[in-house]
């Protein structure tokens, strides 16, 4: 009876935390802290509570996030993103049709390693300025960039928070993602961008109007704010790419990679008396605390056996069919991620995948890649499906360009369906035939 009561309470705590996050009335970090506190006090035994909290928190995830957040902040402060965007614009010779194809690709590549929120913040700002100068409607390219950022994020371990959660839980390394979800993302991206281009190409002018591209706002020499920090952060980005790619061969954990990347910026990013306190103060501590709290809340369900019960339910629906389970997990994840925060969803689903595979006696990896692709790509469909979506549309709003739900979904839903359908086909062809 006690066990059943704890199971019900742990599920109720997770559900309540989820509802608070979805309501937008309680900051997600506060919601996570409330859920973790209740879990620690009422669900874990008093004499084991602290040990269980430390056991369920994924320190690998938090270590990587810490370092990457510092790196993104340094790149932002130095002016790297704007410099890169202006260089791309210059190389496309200010041709809007080339811009339409290249900008989303840049968003996808950056989102493979960096926070898609920051990527979209700068890509959307630059896109709005370019669209105003070259005189074309930016709606389609903004949505294409959002889709590309989500697809790019699905390609690597560091690309999207759900991937970090999945990878650290199962012990996958960077190359595991790259050769599985990365290959699928590489094939999906050009198809999705081709869709956006086909439906929007007639509204794009071929060349810039007059000499408008000479506007001082597009002068690349003014983009870099701090030359020394720019050089250090670019070096650190290259270091992060190398270490993340080869960390398993070097036999270092991704937490160590994150800490090393962060340490380079904190030590060499400028005068320690000026820059280091600034970096530490501006760190996205709330997100790190949110992740840590969420791990504890999900840990409560794992400790009481709720995860196992839910996983067996999914396995029974799948009927032991590998194909059915892959399709079910992909579309369930995509549907959920199009409407709710994919981070808590991924945190809850990840331990379930292991039990589903054991219960249904099927190979785990295809189910894991289905979860990763579903949570990452599924967020494309709606304006609230991913943080990158919200940021991109908010930037457009600040530039007096409103994109309604109908305008967004008219392009994004077909794009997400194309991406998910192709992902499903590739998963089946590669793993089940």
Predicted TM-score (pTM) of the model is 0.83
Residue 235 is predicted with a pLDDT of 94
CA nearest to 289, candidates 66, 44, 13, 22: 66
Q: Which are the contacts of 248, defined by CB distance < 8 A and separation ≥ 6? A: 173, 174, 175
CA distance 35 to 28: 10
CA distance 342 to 431: 25
DSSP string over 354-410: HHHHHHHT--HHHHHHHHHHHHHHGGGSSTTSSHHHHHHHHHHHHTT----HHHHHH
Give the number of other CB atoms < 10 A from CB of residue 23: 9
Tell me the pLDDT band of 272, cut-offs 50, 70 and 90: very low
Mean pLDDT is lowest, of 17-31, 35-49, 186-200, 268-282, for 268-282
- Conformation bin of residue 203: beta by default, left when phi > 0, alpha when psi is -120 to 50: alpha
Would you say residue 271 has pLDDT above 60? no
Residue 197 is predicted with a pLDDT of 92
CA distance 388 to 343: 13
Condensed to tens digits (0 to 9), the pLDDT of residues 233-263 reads 999 999 998 998 888 888 888 889 989 998 8
DSSP string over 283-322: S-HHHHHHHHHHHHHHHHHHHHTHHHHHHHHHHHHHTT-H
Mean pLDDT is lowest, of 121-135, 326-340, 368-382, for 121-135
Half-sphere exposure of 82 (CA within 13 A, CB side): 19
* Cα 234 to Cα 73, 117, 412, distances in angstroms: 12, 19, 33
């Amino acid at each position: 009876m006690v066990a059943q009561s704890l199971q019900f309470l742990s599920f109720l705590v997770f559900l309540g935390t989820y509802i608070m996050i979805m309501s937008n009335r309680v900051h997600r970090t506060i919601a996570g802290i409330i859920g973790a506190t209740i879990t620690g006090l009422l669900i874990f035994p008093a004499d084991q509570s602290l040990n269980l909290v430390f056991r369920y928190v994924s320190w690998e995830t938090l270590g990587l996030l810490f370092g990457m957040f510092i790196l993104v902040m340094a790149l932002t402060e130095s002016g790297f993103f704007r410099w890169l965007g202006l260089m791309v614009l210059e190389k496309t010779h200010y041709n809007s049709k080339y811009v339409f194809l290249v900008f989303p690709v840049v968003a996808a590549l950056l989102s493979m390693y960096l926070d898609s929120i920051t990527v979209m913040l700068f890509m959307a700002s630059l896109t709005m300025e370019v669209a105003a100068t070259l005189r074309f409607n930016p709606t389609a390219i903004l949505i294409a960039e959002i889709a590309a950022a989500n697809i790019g994020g699905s390609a690597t371990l560091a690309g999207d928070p759900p991937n970090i959660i999945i990878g650290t839980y199962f012990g996958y390394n960077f190359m595991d993602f790259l050769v599985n979800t990365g290959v699928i993302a590489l094939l999906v991206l050009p198809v999705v961008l081709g869709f956006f281009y086909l439906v929007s190409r007639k509204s794009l002018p071929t060349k810039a109007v007059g000499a408008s591209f000479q506007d001082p706002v597009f002068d690349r020499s003014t983009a870099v704010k701090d030359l020394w920090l720019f050089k250090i952060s670019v070096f650190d980005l290259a270091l992060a790419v190398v270490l993340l790619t080869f960390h398993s061969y070097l036999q270092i954990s991704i937490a160590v990679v994150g800490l090393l990347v962060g340490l380079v910026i904190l030590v060499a990013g400028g005068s320690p008396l000026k820059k280091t306190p600034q970096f530490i103060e501006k760190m996205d501590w709330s997100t790190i605390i949110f992740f840590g709290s969420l791990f504890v809340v999900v840990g409560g369900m794992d400790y009481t056996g709720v995860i196992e019960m839910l996983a067996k339910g999914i396995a029974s629906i799948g009927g032991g069919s590998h194909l059915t389970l892959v399709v079910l997990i992909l579309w369930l994840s995509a549907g959920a991620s199009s409407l709710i925060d994919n981070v808590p969803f991924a945190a809850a689903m990840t331990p379930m995948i292991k039990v589903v595979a054991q219960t249904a006696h099927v190979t785990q990896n295809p189910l894991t890649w289905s979860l990763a692709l579903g949570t990452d790509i599924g967020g494309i469909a709606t304006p609230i499906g991913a943080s990158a979506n919200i940021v991109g549309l908010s930037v457009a709003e600040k530039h007096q360009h409103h994109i309604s739900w109908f305008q967004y979904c008219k392009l994004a839903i077909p794009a997400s369906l194309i991406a998910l359908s192709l992902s499903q086909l590739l998963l089946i062809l590669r793993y089940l035939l």
